[in-house]
Structure 1
Amino acid sequence: MPSFLEERLPVDVRLGMSYADDYGVQITQVSGGAEYRRLIQPFPVRSFHVNFTTDQADLWARVLALYHRAYGKFAGFRVKCRDDFSSNGMTGIPTPLDQVIPRISAGLYQLRKSYGTNGTALAGLGHPYRTIYKPVAGTLLIGRGGGPIDVGFAVSVDPTTGIVTISPPPSAGDTITAGFQFDLPCRFNSLIEVTALDPTFRDCGSIDLIELLNP
């Protein structure tokens, strides 16, 4: 059974919804009060809390239908965060030079977005990044060596994995950059309670979503 639905949550994450990024950190406090911290995973994991009331009779039904198609907490789906959906800053128009993307093998590259890049990195600390598995089709721009990629290269991207294919393969030492819009792969992390306030209004509050690191 597929564990990911290539469709977007019908409600964009915006007013009436909150989100936060967290990291896997293990903290142990000894009797003297000192803390020992261990970074378990260095990638941001976003959680969303959806709380909205709607008079659109079909909207709450579409959210509930997605919940059932996903078998509740089982399958993932796409979520667009209105505050963070672009490779250029958070919401800017993508450019070919936004993000350096790593080479997987000859001609194959993985989309990703770096965070915490305002200013110079402190010694010993890096900039975390989010692997982009769900780019928005038709938004990809590719750069090579500090400028747009030459017209002699053919570029494609798998919108279900974020893997970019460039043909012919650039040299291993070439810096490849990318601009794109993206969704986040998430799943439901709570039940959905629908409250009928009157014949037209439905309260669909307290829906929790969690990002999937490996969709």
Structure 2
Amino acid sequence: MSSFLEERLPLDVRLGASWADDYEVLITTTAGGAEYRKLVHPFPVRSFHVSFTGDQADLWARVMALYHRAYGKFAGFRVRCRDDFSTNGLTGTPTPLDETLANSATGIYQLRNFYGTNGTALAGVGYPARTIYKPVASTVVAAKNGVTISSGLTVDPTTGLITIAPAPLFTDTITAGCQFDIPCRFNSAIEMTALSPSVRDCGSIDLIELLQP
């Protein structure tokens, strides 16, 4: 049974949603009050909290149907964050020069999006990256050494891997941009409240990002 559904949580029911990025940090406090902090992973993990009110029939056909197809917390799905869905300034039109990808000798590259600053990636703290596993295929653009790649570019929208043929040299600089969804799963049951015979209110749906969908 597949543990990921290549479909998107309906956009129009996410009005009123809130989201947050967090980092896994282990904090130990000594008896004297000193803190020792360990960064478990250097990339953000996003969570969403969704509340909405909708027509009962529409609610069942859209949100509840996805919830049941996913078997609740079992399977993942795509979520588009209205404030962060592009490698170009969070919401801009992607360009081939948006993000520098890691060097590869095989011609296969993983899409990613950096946070915290602009420009060249920096070593150490202050420039974490989110691996883009679920790009919107039609929006992916790439460049080699600053020149847009117009042919030989293949995109896998289920993994975020792009293939360039013929394979560039290891010393070539490959950059890319795209729109993307965030792979998530339900992190709570869906509780409904009947406001009228035809209207249902959902006060809380929690979603959590999948780091390895």
- TM-score w.r.t. structure 1 length? 0.92
- Once the two structures are TM-superposed, the CA of residue 148 in structure 1 deviates from its matched residue by 1.3
| Kept in 1: contact 2:117–2:126 (CA 8 A) | no
| Kept in 2: contact 1:60–1:202 (CA 8 A) | no
- Determine whether 1:83 maps to 2:83: yes
Partner of 1:111: 111
List aligned pairs for 1:8-47, cutoff 5 A: 8-11=8-11, 15-47=15-47
Partner of 1:209: 207
Gaps in structure 1 of 5+ consecutive residues: none
Instruction: Specify the code of the residue in structure 1 equivalent to 2:161.
Output: I
- Once the two structures are TM-superposed, the CA of residue 179 in structure 1 deviates from its matched residue by 1.1
CA pair 2-178 structure 1, distance change in 2 beyond 3 A: same
Partner of 1:190: 188
SS in 2 for 1:103: coil
- Once the two structures are TM-superposed, the CA of residue 119 in structure 1 deviates from its matched residue by 7.7
Gaps in structure 2 of 5+ consecutive residues: none
Q: 1:93, 1:209 → 2: CA distance?
A: 26
Deviations, residues 93-136 of structure 1 (Å, cap 9, x unaligned):
11110011123441100000000014898885241000000001
Identity %: 71
Cα RMSD of the aligned pairs, angstroms, is: 2.0
| Kept in 2: contact 1:56–1:201 (CA 8 A) | yes
Q: 2:199, 2:161 → 1: CA distance?
A: 42
Instruction: Specify the code of the residue in structure 2 equivalent to 1:144.
Output: K
Higher deviation after alignment, 127-136 or 191-200: 191-200
Aligned residues: 213
| Kept in 1: contact 2:9–2:79 (CA 8 A) | yes
Deviations, residues 20-66 of structure 1 (Å, cap 9, x unaligned):
00111000111111111000111100000001112373145311111
CA pair 121-111 structure 1, distance change in 2 beyond 3 A: closer
CA pair 132-3 structure 1, distance change in 2 beyond 3 A: same
Deviations, residues 138-171 of structure 1 (Å, cap 9, x unaligned):
111111112312x4x4101100000001111111
CA pair 103-124 structure 1, distance change in 2 beyond 3 A: closer
Q: 1:162, 1:48 → 2: CA distance?
A: 22
| Kept in 1: contact 2:16–2:51 (CA 8 A) | yes
CA pair 63-18 structure 1, distance change in 2 beyond 3 A: same
Partner of 2:133: 133
